[in-house]
Structure 1
Amino acid sequence: MHIDIDHDLCVGAGQCALAAPAVFTQDDDGFSALLPGMEDGGGDPMVREAARACPVSAITVSEMES
């Protein structure tokens, strides 16, 4: 899977970090960021829930093509 965070939309609500703390964090400015090495979600089943929890839909999760 591929995770994309639209930093222009992100308002720093932190719902992603609450839903999937093994994948998401907040940067020094309080905006959503991926933890190092988690660009593919690391197989965490909560990644899609984190995207749904975002109040401004700043997170997109897509399947990577083989």
Structure 2
Amino acid sequence: MAYSINSECINCGACEPECPVEAISEKGDVRVIDPDLCTSCGACVEVCPVDAIDPD
């Protein structure tokens, strides 16, 4: 089950460097997670300051 970033994202970028498979990228004014790359490790969830990352 991949994770996704919800509308609470403030585009701080804390999650992107934590992703071991580089599934997170910036798109417009938010970050997005590529579900085909996400391994559901949860590393991004742990560092998100606004709880904007949810399991899909």
TM-score (norm 1): 0.65
Stretches of structure 1 that go unaligned for 5 or more consecutive residues are: none
Q: 2:55 aligns with which of 38, 45, 61?
A: 61
Instruction: Give the superposed CA RMSD.
Output: 2.0
The residue aligned with 1:39 is 35
Identity %: 22
TM-score (norm 2): 0.74
Aligned structure 1 segments of 4 or more residues deviating by more than 4 angstroms: none
Equivalent position amino acid for 1:23 in 2? A
The residue aligned with 1:49 is 43
1:2 CA displacement: 2.5
Select the structure of larger CA radius of gyration.
Answer: 1
Higher helix share: 1
Q: Secondary structure at the match of 1:51?
A: helix
Stretches of structure 2 that go unaligned for 5 or more consecutive residues are: none
Q: How many residues in Structure 1 have an aligned counterpart in Structure 2?
A: 54
